[in-house]
Structure 1
């Protein structure tokens, strides 16, 4: 009975370690984050026969994130406009993505199983995604969600001053697309998939959303704002698992980036 309880608790232990590791990393407590990660790997090696792909996913994410930070330091030395460096910074997310793809392949897992045509007619429920008093098809939910997001940014968008120069438009389009695609491949493409295999979709949606929100702290956003990003991450994950596809999250995330740039929440700087 005790062994069964331990085995049942291990998936949630791993999800908690991942979320804590992301938070520690964002607080720049890198050593503690890695000690926690590799401590989990050793624990599973010694005390459990459970599959260890997710514990290695944690280590791969932290290692990829550290290499990402190193690559960002190298970018700072390039004589390029600041907005171009911001776009290139988002391209560097390919480092943790490739590491996690490699780990997935080594464990004979499909790296990004949600990279497929969405089921637009799948239902999402309110208020609990899988259950509630109202349901709506994903295609309509996505339209309504984008409209609500635009409305929430509308005042800031229309009160902000933009020159709409070529540089600004390049940043608006380039950053929105690159950041949206890269973050979704990492978080809803790979991490959500590994979490769902470990503990089921409901826990995966919650923990991946929380970790996604915390992952923005190192960019200078406040803890409260990161919690709002976590709520967004939960809904990105929800539309992904309900539609069985990452493409609705691509669309939604790119639209959100556009609104954030137009509102000034993601500032444009050309020097």
Structure 2
């Protein structure tokens, strides 16, 4: 019995060690401290190889994310030299999220694991509760929850919307809203609520995965110059994106929510449109 308890505690330590490594890697990559990221990942891979009799797919997936993010930054530097408008560069930059996505999918498939548990058609009639997703003082269907969440976001952004300064007759502006919102919203959801959430669920279970995937998502915005407080608010949003994904069995509701949130951010000026 004592041996079994000891093994359970060791397994728990391995699990949370990888979870906090995940948070550390996200922060380090946002500050471009890749040497420290690789050192931590290498140390964890060696440790798990020697000490732990468990799959190392999560650590290798994070290594793939780090390499993919480095390629993203390199690609971003290259496109800045191209004779393109700033808005076009912003759209292409978001498209570069394909690099960490593809690198992670490749590594996960090498381990013969499912890279996305939530690529199915959503169950719109599944229920979700507020404020704790699985429980709370109010429970509604996914469809109703999504409508309420988008309405709350719109109401929160209304004081900051600057519709007067935008020329809605400008096809370039409308194209920017459409392309940026769809590309960013879709690729971020595939990365965070598709790949990362799937791997975290496999590592630590649904409830822990919801919290840590949301935290990682929020902190991934540090590189854009957002404050820690605003990134933590994004993390809260990320928790509910993950919750609606798990409860519906699909990333589609989160993609719809995320795309519209991006539209609100552009119209409020939090994401700047520069048409030259």
Equivalent residue, structure 1, for 2:46: 42
Q: Per-residue deviation at 1:60?
A: 0.8
Q: Per-residue deviation at 1:113?
A: 2.0
1:252 aligns with 2:254: no
Q: Per-residue deviation at 1:15?
A: 1.2
CA contact (8 A) 2:65 2:100 kept: yes
Q: Per-residue deviation at 1:55?
A: 0.8
- Partner of 2:137, secondary structure, is strand
Alpha-carbon distance between aligned partners in 2 of 1:186 and 1:50, rounded to the nearest angstrom: 24
Equivalent residue, structure 1, for 2:121: 117
* Number of residue equivalences: 271
Unaligned runs of 5+ in 1: none
Alpha-carbon distance between aligned partners in 2 of 1:119 and 1:12, rounded to the nearest angstrom: 31
Alpha-carbon distance between aligned partners in 2 of 1:123 and 1:34, rounded to the nearest angstrom: 41
Alpha-carbon distance between aligned partners in 2 of 1:127 and 1:172, rounded to the nearest angstrom: 31
CA contact (8 A) 1:76 1:85 kept: yes
Please give the residue correspondences for 1:62-77 in structure 2 after superposition, counting only pairs within 5 Å: 62-77=66-81
- Partner of 1:59, secondary structure, is helix
Alpha-carbon distance between aligned partners in 2 of 1:18 and 1:234, rounded to the nearest angstrom: 16
1:87 aligns with 2:94: no
Aligned mate of 1:212, from 209, 217, 220: 217
- Partner of 1:119, secondary structure, is coil
Aligned mate of 1:154, from 154, 158, 164: 158
Aligned mate of 1:53, from 51, 54, 57: 57
Q: Per-residue deviation at 1:96?
A: 0.4
Alpha-carbon distance between aligned partners in 1 of 2:73 and 2:177, rounded to the nearest angstrom: 23
Equivalent residue, structure 2, for 1:106: 110
Q: Per-residue deviation at 1:122?
A: 1.0
